Amino acid sequence: MIFDTMKNKELYYTLHPKFAKAFAFLEQAAEQDLPLGKHEIDGEELYASVQAYDTKAPQDGSFEGHRNYIDIQYIISGVEAIEVMDLSKAVAKTEYDAQNDYALYQDHPKAVKAVIEGGEYGIFFPHDIHKPGMAADGVSTPVKKIVVKVKL
């Protein structure tokens, strides 16, 4: 997992050949008012989902994991907590859904929590099981974010 701001985006370009394109999209999209939903960047190899929601209590969320995509979760506005744990500690709650590339996992006491706000992002690799959309201070707040999916 990586948590950072856009000013350091170039540090991560070498991690995947499509990261430069993904971050270029995020910078442009953050300045525009893109509609909610899916936005193709490079077909199924690289696409984004614009989301808006109210953060929720930790007990109302689930850890998720992906096998075929890296998530770059960029907060446009608002603040949310994201819990993260390593796949090796995860206990599945659901079978892996290959068509939608996800499985859900049980909470774990050794999960770590990061609080991210507008202009910040988290990068989650397949070994990073994550629970996004949590209320940072126990109080639900509105968030607008973009999740870029980068195919491995």
Q: What is the pLDDT of residues 19-46, one digit of tens each?
A: 999 999 999 998 888 999 999 999 999 9
Query: What are the chain's domains?
Result: 2-151 (2.60.120.370)
Measured CA to CA, the distance from residue 86 to residue 39 in angstroms comes to 29
Q: What share of the chain is helix, strand, coil (3-state, %, to 5)?
A: 20, 50, 30
Q: What is the pLDDT of residues 71-90, one digit of tens each?
A: 999 999 999 999 999 999 99
